[in-house]
Chains A and B, each alone.
Chain A
């Protein structure tokens, strides 16, 4: 789900897809990628080139679209019969794609090495109904960022380990007059709010669904929303969070106007870039905290996977390509852009060098990744929850009532 943008894309090579007619019998597969993924377009082309060098009988046509076009193009091409063989998909789509028979169930092709080698959290990206619909490729989750300078000014020695500590630390910073509203979140009525909420749900040990029915209106799901509303009402949360998306959070954090912020991997390197950021060198990152007695850390799965389409006439070649693209060797070589899906990579000095702090947080965070509800009706639940969160924040209804209404409106 993470979409890196910035200098990487600008310097990217934007080649048009090769059109040359194959000179000898070779298989041609078409792959659909995203224009602004963690891996830049140039990197995907370089990876693909290395693949075709090793497999000269397979030719790969690459197409890049913005995130907005990824879902629709996949479905449209499927209907028109000139499908892509390999598609990049977001973590929230496998249920829908499985229900509509867009992606091939590749469970039988997952080797034992893959099963044990890939981080368990990463697998939730491609799994639906205990079947595998592809390989995870881009790993991402939300981390807790903190401003080291502000924390030391407030006399806080260590970043919080629990959400309670976080709220207490923020209170100290607020009371000492260092910052009026120390925590920044992305709680706009958008998918971003669901990602923050999911992080909290995983911390409080909640469930979105139980036996296919909504379960977020009680237990951990309710505690999560109550926590959001409490920090909003007590003023330790920046009240503008209710209209922030991730980029607004980054701006506030980079400007030194937030002591704590929940955001994706991408913010680490950007907030440490002195060109645009006022907090470069003061950026701390840890896994999102847990809840005493319930969890050590929390994380939302914001990853993307590569899958084979059912309309593909070259499913074996397509799978071969996916295996190469998601291999540990390929991922380690590009680890500065997107962290590998392979558990052992995090002990490899070549991968960790220069981003030790992020890697340390990732080790814990990625292993704890919690999925958003996996159901073909995901969009409906998401919209209903977004509304519930906003209504509770604005005081239009209590967290209990808001979530109950969301459960009723979720279509399940």
Chain B
């Protein structure tokens, strides 16, 4: 096969992704630039919701330096913590222990909570008068008196960081876990034979396989951490005295150059290992023996992880069934005297025109929008990801596509609104799904690319030599091997779509298209809100992603088909 044909083929495989991106994002972006010349005020005023005005003002104001520091500090600490905890959790979940399947399913829970619910949950936990954290710490005896966690400059940022990490470390863990599934067992077995220590086994065997996918997580989370808005808005609004005020800064270029360096390094290491493994595949079952002490350690660690994930969620559930007075009791009642399920009845009522009907409609809309966007994103990402993985020369186009994620939604909102309006796609689940597709597709493509990077080309070449067509090779050899990554990408895309709020708020107007996050904002909005009802909505909102996650469990761990290598 000639080089030009391979490049052309790669472009053809990339084409669907590029067409969608240019049609939905590229054109409005050009329009925005033009519009900003003709009627800058209109665009500017539409930005007040996300606090974009604040960002612009900050850049010109004298608080710039301090805010930059706060943002950087927040992003670095959050991302580092999430990466470390995420990888540790993934390593743990890759081991054999009782309840592993359950714990893997639980892992999705924090991530499945819509951001607004997560922020409200933590705001209540940190409440200076009736919060669960104060109650727990005083009852244990660590604190003498209740403290103001979000009201003191010394603790507010840390409190925010904990809340954000709790929600987002599962993303890193899921991606790392999928990558770990792709590490051929032979390679690990080989390292046992070679007598490598646990650390060097991680450093030289596992980490190179993790590097690519983790870089996707790293870049995504870094961008999101720098763009962070919702959680801070709900919890502190930048207070006290601006100590938690952050801003969104475009740092993707640094992130990208870092990414290239990282993936370059991992390539070399992987090649060396593959060579070694061929000699010692027979020893693979060696690693399946665990010492009793190690097994004990695993189970303790698993319990700890489960506790970290579950404690806030259990509290969310308790709040959803507690009368409001119980939640304001001192000392705090950890379990209501009488369980009150009325909020569930309210939200799940199917009576026509009731709040329940509206909530259920929004659940259905969210499932449809996130589901359709996810399916389409995977359909675009598989060929495009494969093309970029096997033909690195077209990779720059993916970088450009991913860079669009840095664009604040507010920059695109006006032209997108007009375009959707022209095509009659406002207040439509299809229109919203199309917009979401442009958010989901870039990262799923990148994730798929890293996944394909981990699958040796030699396997595909062997199949081609055996006479298989490209399509057959992909279908029979590559895709089954990439299943864990496909499943993770799909889950990741689904949850990203599930949590989206800004576009949904602007582009929907009634039950025909309103999504869950907007419905929750309907419940939570303004000065008056029943926290118990938000908690109930949060519990219900977390259920569908968890079910999706459970269904995908098989796919997430099914990729262990190392027998396909002709060695």
Closest-CB distance, B361 to chain A (whole angstroms): 9
Decide: B129 and A251 in contact? CB cutoff 8 A: yes
Interface 9-mer from B16-24, B79-87, B216-224, B323-331: B323-331
Please indicate the chain A residues that have their CB under 8 angstroms from the CB of B414 in the complex.
Answer: 76, 79-80
Decide: B148 and A3 in contact? CB cutoff 8 A: no
Given B42, B153, B505, which contacts A394 in the complex, CB threshold below 8 Å? Answer: B153
A390 to B151, CA, bound (A): 10
Please indicate the chain B residues that have their CB under 8 angstroms from the CB of A393 in the complex.
Answer: 240-241
Instruction: Indicate whether B487 reaches chain A with its CB closer than 8 angstroms.
Output: no
Please indicate the chain A residues that have their CB under 8 angstroms from the CB of B252 in the complex.
Answer: none
Decide: B49 and A16 in contact? CB cutoff 8 A: no
- Given A82-B421, A100-B41, A379-B48, verify A65-B526 contact (CB < 8 Å): no
- Given A71-B48, A189-B239, verify A266-B129 contact (CB < 8 Å): no
Instruction: Indicate whether A2 reaches chain B with its CB closer than 8 angstroms.
Output: yes
Instruction: Indicate whether B466 reaches chain A with its CB closer than 8 angstroms.
Output: no
Given A75, A255, A411, which contacts B57 in the complex, CB threshold below 8 Å? Answer: A411
Instruction: Indicate whether A380 reaches chain B with its CB closer than 8 angstroms.
Output: yes
Given B238, B355, B505, which contacts A69 in the complex, CB threshold below 8 Å? Answer: B505
Decide: A73 and B506 in contact? CB cutoff 8 A: yes
Decide: B49 and A72 in contact? CB cutoff 8 A: yes
Given A16, A252, A394, A409, which contacts B241 in the complex, CB threshold below 8 Å? Answer: A394
Instruction: Indicate whether A25 reaches chain B with its CB closer than 8 angstroms.
Output: no
Name the CB-closest residue of B to A396: B241
Closest-CB distance, B15 to chain A (whole angstroms): 30
Instruction: Indicate whether B2 reaches chain A with its CB closer than 8 angstroms.
Output: no
Q: B316-341: which have CB < 8 Å to A?
A: 323-325, 328
Interface string of B226-246 (1 = CB under 8 A from A): 000000000011111110000
Name the CB-closest residue of B to A14: B358
Please report the number of residue pairs spanning A and B whose Cβ atoms sit closer than 8 angstroms. Answer: 192
Decide: A80 and B526 in contact? CB cutoff 8 A: no
Name the CB-closest residue of B to A186: B527
Name the CB-closest residue of B to A184: B129
Greatest chain A CB density within 10 A among B54, B512, B522, B529 is at: B522
Instruction: Indicate whether B478 reaches chain A with its CB closer than 8 angstroms.
Output: no
Please indicate the chain A residues that have their CB under 8 angstroms from the CB of B191 in the complex.
Answer: none
Instruction: Indicate whether B353 reaches chain A with its CB closer than 8 angstroms.
Output: yes
Greatest chain B CB density within 10 A among A79, A246, A390 is at: A79
A307 to B552, CA, bound (A): 51
Given B49, B238, B328, B526, which contacts A189 in the complex, CB threshold below 8 Å? Answer: B238
A6 to B534, CA, bound (A): 11
- Given A36-B526, A394-B241, verify A68-B49 contact (CB < 8 Å): yes
Instruction: Indicate whether B561 reaches chain A with its CB closer than 8 angstroms.
Output: no
Closest-CB distance, B428 to chain A (whole angstroms): 13
Interface string of B444-484 (1 = CB under 8 A from A): 00000000000000000000000000000000000000000
Number of interface residues of A (CB under 8 A): 75
Name the CB-closest residue of A to B127: A248
Instruction: Indicate whether A264 reaches chain B with its CB closer than 8 angstroms.
Output: yes
Instruction: Indicate whether A164 reaches chain B with its CB closer than 8 angstroms.
Output: no
Interface size class of chain B, counting residues whose CB lies under 8 Å from the partner chain: 35 or more
Closest-CB distance, B347 to chain A (whole angstroms): 9
Decide: B525 and A68 in contact? CB cutoff 8 A: yes
- Given A69-B49, A75-B46, A239-B148, verify A36-B237 contact (CB < 8 Å): no
Instruction: Indicate whether A59 reaches chain B with its CB closer than 8 angstroms.
Output: no
Please indicate the chain B residues that have their CB under 8 angstroms from the CB of A80 in the complex.
Answer: 414, 417-418, 421
Please indicate the chain B residues that have their CB under 8 angstroms from the CB of A243 in the complex.
Answer: 128, 148, 150-151, 236, 239-240
Interface string of A227-268 (1 = CB under 8 A from B): 000000000000110110111100110110100000010100
Please indicate the chain B residues that have their CB under 8 angstroms from the CB of A76 in the complex.
Answer: 46, 413-414, 417, 506
Name the CB-closest residue of B to A102: B45
Decide: B528 and A266 in contact? CB cutoff 8 A: yes
Closest-CB distance, A378 to chain B (whole angstroms): 10
Please indicate the chain B residues that have their CB under 8 angstroms from the CB of A394 in the complex.
Answer: 153, 240-241
A161 to B39, CA, bound (A): 50
Please indicate the chain A residues that have their CB under 8 angstroms from the CB of B129 in the complex.
Answer: 240, 248, 251-252, 255, 257
Instruction: Indicate whether B509 reaches chain A with its CB closer than 8 angstroms.
Output: yes
Please indicate the chain A residues that have their CB under 8 angstroms from the CB of B413 in the complex.
Answer: 72, 76
Decide: B526 and A5 in contact? CB cutoff 8 A: yes
Please indicate the chain B residues that have their CB under 8 angstroms from the CB of A190 in the complex.
Answer: 237, 239
Decide: A13 and B353 in contact? CB cutoff 8 A: yes
Given A75, A245, A276, which contacts B45 in the complex, CB threshold below 8 Å? Answer: A75
Name the CB-closest residue of B to A190: B237
Decide: B528 and A3 in contact? CB cutoff 8 A: yes
A291 to B425, CA, bound (A): 56
Decide: B53 and A379 in contact? CB cutoff 8 A: yes
Decide: A36 and B239 in contact? CB cutoff 8 A: no
Decide: B42 and A10 in contact? CB cutoff 8 A: no
Interface string of B399-438 (1 = CB under 8 A from A): 0000000000000011001100100000000000000000
- Given A76-B417, A242-B151, A409-B61, verify A5-B523 contact (CB < 8 Å): yes
Please indicate the chain A residues that have their CB under 8 angstroms from the CB of B358 in the complex.
Answer: 14
Interface string of B35-56 (1 = CB under 8 A from A): 0000101100110110001100
Instruction: Indicate whether A4 reaches chain B with its CB closer than 8 angstroms.
Output: yes
Instruction: Indicate whether B95 reaches chain A with its CB closer than 8 angstroms.
Output: no
- Given A3-B526, A16-B512, A189-B237, verify A79-B506 contact (CB < 8 Å): no
Instruction: Indicate whether A15 reaches chain B with its CB closer than 8 angstroms.
Output: yes
Identify 20 new A-B residue pairs, CB closer than 8 A, beyond the known A65-B505, A69-B518, A393-B241. A5-B526, A5-B529, A5-B530, A10-B533, A14-B358, A66-B525, A67-B526, A68-B49, A68-B521, A69-B49, A99-B41, A189-B239, A190-B237, A242-B239, A243-B236, A251-B328, A255-B328, A264-B527, A276-B324, A391-B241
Can you identify 18 A-B contacts, CB atoms within 8 angstroms?
A: A5-B529, A11-B354, A14-B353, A66-B526, A79-B42, A81-B421, A96-B45, A189-B239, A242-B151, A246-B528, A252-B129, A254-B328, A255-B328, A266-B528, A277-B325, A379-B54, A396-B241, A411-B57
Which are the 4 A-B pairs with shortest beta-carbon distances?
Answer: A189-B239, A3-B526, A243-B151, A66-B525
